[in-house]
Structure 1
Amino acid sequence: MSLQGRQLKVKYAYYQVADEIQRQILDGSLKPGERLPGEVELAEMFGVTRSTVREGLRQLENDGLVHRPSPRRLEVSLPQMETLTTRNSRAMAMMRVSFRHLWQVALATEPLAADLAALLITEEEKVELRDIHAELLDSVTDVDRTIELDTRFHSFIATAAKNPALMLAREPVALLLYRGFAQVAPVSEIALSRQAEAHTHITDAICAGDRDLARTWGRRHIEDFWKAINKAGLADAPAIKSAEGI
């Protein structure tokens, strides 16, 4: 007989409560903004105690799937991008994700974001993108400020691309990768100036609606960053230092 047995672990009841509510949120049965029953009613529905329900709801709150607009009211919600990004970034740091790993993903996502942004950006967004770029140009001697604006610049482009799947895929990767610039800048004298130049070309291409040029410069920018990472000797180093403060 090839079947192998092992000791099974039964989930705690509060996990099962959280899993069932989460399933109904994810399949659309429960919609954002919809009010959940109180703890007493939920306990009766699931055949468990109030304390079990309370623990299950606490887990859902931690995951950003429900929130309390008031102490006695619990509503379905969607996790905020910041919550998802922070959780994923911490996981990648713990898994010793390297700069090489981050760069390989960014090489696919950043040019795609620039391409879609050139297609879909609105006139109002063009103004905001140029404003962010102008702030970065005024801050090229301030590494910390530059990192902040660089991250904001690329995140805004992803927002202008209007693809939530792309935003979820790239945000935690970009957060770690671009914060790694703090380790690159000290050993690459031209890193800041080349970054500013690339951002200028990307901004101009997106605002002109030139998808091919936006994608080309998006790729060149990430390839150029890879050269700086290699010069700094960080290619296979864990990106965990970039996660400090996340």
Structure 2
Amino acid sequence: MTAARYNKIKVPSAYQMVAEAIEREIMSGRLRPGDQVGTEAELVRQFGVNRSTVREGIRLLEQSGLVQREAGRKLHVCPPRYRNLSSRMSRALVLGQVTFREVFDATLVLEIMSVEAAIDHATDSHIKALEANQRSAESEIDHADPSRIAQLDTDFHALLARASGNRVLELAREPSALLIFPTSELICRRVPEGAGRMIRAHRELIDALRARDKTRAATWMKRHVEDWKKGFERAGRDMDEPVERVIERLAPAALF
């Protein structure tokens, strides 16, 4: 017998085809957030399939956050759930056995891009939100709650990315941010000056934002991210180990 030359053809299930057809309408813009997709009965009639097939297709779309049921069992299109997408991308990074050095390198680029864009686009409301976050962080420093400080750090960077005015950039940094959160908590727990240095950097970044000083902002962001790397190593972790090993021990449910 000759060796197999061809792979078996995988034919999509009917419910997958239903989900893909509706998703194409959404991604093309023909169905927009808030638009009704239809009832199950209407979709059964239009696709010419049975109700269980439609239900399975809708279940896939609900899991991906593209559609949601409303009163009367009608379905409507949802705005994208960026957090769900980021979580899946973060899990992909974990499964791909990326290292924290790779996460650090990417984070350094993305965070500097975020703060430089924020210098050009941040509004007064963006700066007020950052100031509120800073006040919360400063009030927590004496309590030394690592989880709270780490969460405020995560929120600070998310607010800064929002101030960039670039939604692609805002979304691009989210997967790595989910991986960094548990390590920031570790640093605050094991490195005595870790939380204080984190909060000091945030103050400098806000001041640079107010002054619209792009050079100062980029310099402090680089210092801030490099501080995270130093703190991570001082906490006894290896930058070249896969993120999976650290995440499983520190926060096994952080990506779900």
Query: TM-score higher than 0.5 here?
Result: yes
Question: Which residue identity is paired with 2:93?
Answer: M
Q: Distance in 2 between matches of 1:40 and 1:90?
A: 36
Question: Which residue identity is paired with 1:169?
Answer: A
Residue 243 and residue 162 in structure 1: after superposition, are their counterparts in 2 closer, same or farther (change >3 A)?
farther
1:168 paired residue among 164, 168, 171: 171
Matches within 5 A, 1:19-34: 19-34=20-35
Question: Which residue identity is paired with 1:54?
Answer: R
2:239 paired residue among 226, 235, 241: 235
Task: Give the equivalent residue in structure 1 for 2:182.
Answer: 179
Task: Give the equivalent residue in structure 1 for 2:195.
Answer: 192
Task: Give % identity.
Answer: 36
Runs of 5+ unmatched residues, structure 2: none
Matches within 5 A, 1:79-228: 79-140=80-141, 141-228=144-231
Per-residue deviation, 1:186: 4.0
Q: Distance in 2 between matches of 1:179 and 1:169?
A: 19
RMSD value, Cα? 1.8
Runs of 5+ unmatched residues, structure 1: none
Question: Which residue identity is paired with 1:127?
Answer: K
Q: Distance in 1 between matches of 2:129 and 2:39?
A: 43
Q: Does 1:7 align with 2:8?
A: yes
Secondary structure at 2:76 match in 1: strand
TM-score by length of 2: 0.88
Question: Contact 2:37–2:77 (CA<8 Å) still a contact in 1?
Answer: yes
Per-residue Cα deviation, 1:64-87 (whole angstroms, up to 9, x for no partner): 001112241210112222222222
Number of aligned residue pairs: 244
Question: Which residue identity is paired with 1:236?
Answer: D
Q: Distance in 2 between matches of 1:71 and 1:206?
A: 48
Q: Distance in 2 between matches of 1:7 and 1:81?
A: 35
Per-residue deviation, 1:27: 1.4
TM-score by length of 1: 0.92
Per-residue Cα deviation, 1:31-77 (whole angstroms, up to 9, x for no partner): 11111122222222222212111110110011000111224121011
